[in-house]
Amino acid sequence: NNEEETYSRAADDHPRKDVRDVVRTHYNARPDMGTRKRQFSPIIQLKRFNNWIKSVLIQKFTPRVDDRPLLVLDLGCGKGGDLIKWDKAGIDGYIGVDIAENSVDQAKRRYRELQPCFDALFYAGDCFSRSVSEFLPPDQRQFDIVSLQFCLHYAFESELKARRLLENVSKCLPRGGIMLGTIPNSDIISQRLKELPPSEVSWGNDIYSVRFTQRPSHTFRPPFGIQYFFYLEDAVTDVPEYVVPFEAFRAIAETYDLELLWQKPFVDIFNEEKNSEAFGNLMERMKVVDSNGKRGIDPQELEAASFYLAFAFEKRGI
């Protein structure tokens, strides 16, 4: 398969310092603000907006099962910010894994404080370089959903990591199981790069910025190791991330029997669902807007949110 060969060569041609430690150190060092302090974050509306998008995604794709427990594996679970969303989706069991030990401890604490209606286990582990069977108990390796929220872009550092992650996901899902998540939108990145003068490698506004170390080809070939530094006020400070060229992601996922069901830019989800019966009221409840439709996300925050898309795949095959 020619495409696979290209990918393998790409990984070899771009030997890079392992950034795993940079990512782990960054997330380990970030304190958990707690709900009260979080309310004073300068990007609180953006955080609420992203949380609403994740809730929409989770509720759209969580299957209804009555005859058995509904189980979720959250890879790159961070500090457990999605625990409430999964509770609302009515799941019965949850396992969270993250490379940053401190985040895992905070997720455990948040689980104890929230007391959701499902059982949960948490593990510290690297889901992009190791097999999850190294840390998941043998009787707990099958799930209905694997969630990858804002973390897959770290795996696109190399073909090896991206494949290991997708292999982990695929192994944990039976036929009909769902992989869902959120990632930067490569179409937006490509569009922004095309609009930039040839000598420039960065863009952004007061709250976020994207800075490439070198200008990539707009076709994103080879599709791995296309590094940029992402800055988001009060959240991510200069951690290396990697473009996830969506078509390459879809093609590799297919080799692990994961077939694309749905993908949508955040802004399109917002426009389609803001007045919908199912999710319009949820925007108010999650304080993305108030009852007058005010206190919405401001244009700078919306531009930062436009950087992302959400996706859902279904496991096919036997």
Residues of the shown chain interacting with ligand SAM in the complex, contacts defined by CB under 6 A:
20, 23, 27, 76-78, 81, 97-100, 103, 126-128, 149-151, 154
Look-up: residue for tokens 């093609």? 251
Work out how close the CB of 108 gets to ligand SAM at its nearest, in angstroms, rounded to a whole number: 14
Work out how close the CB of 190 gets to ligand SAM at its nearest, in angstroms, rounded to a whole number: 22
Nearer to ligand SAM, 76 or 222 (CB): 76
Helix (H, G, I), strand (E, B) or coil at 255: helix
Beta strands in the chain (DSSP E): 71-75, 93-98, 119-124, 145-149, 178-184, 202-204, 208-212, 227-232, 236-242, 258-265, 308-315
When CB distances to ligand SAM are compared, the closest residue is 78
Nearer to ligand SAM, 65 or 249 (CB): 249
Nearer to ligand SAM, 48 or 198 (CB): 48
Work out how close the CB of 208 gets to ligand SAM at its nearest, in angstroms, rounded to a whole number: 13
Q: Tokens standing for 23?
A: 């990512």
CB contact at 8 A, 221 and 6: yes
Work out how close the CB of 185 gets to ligand SAM at its nearest, in angstroms, rounded to a whole number: 15
Nearer to ligand SAM, 127 or 189 (CB): 127
Nearer to ligand SAM, 58 or 173 (CB): 58
Distance of CA 124 to the CA centre of its chain: 17
Beta strands in 154-251 (DSSP E): 178-184, 202-204, 208-212, 227-232, 236-242
Work out how close the CB of 258 gets to ligand SAM at its nearest, in angstroms, rounded to a whole number: 18
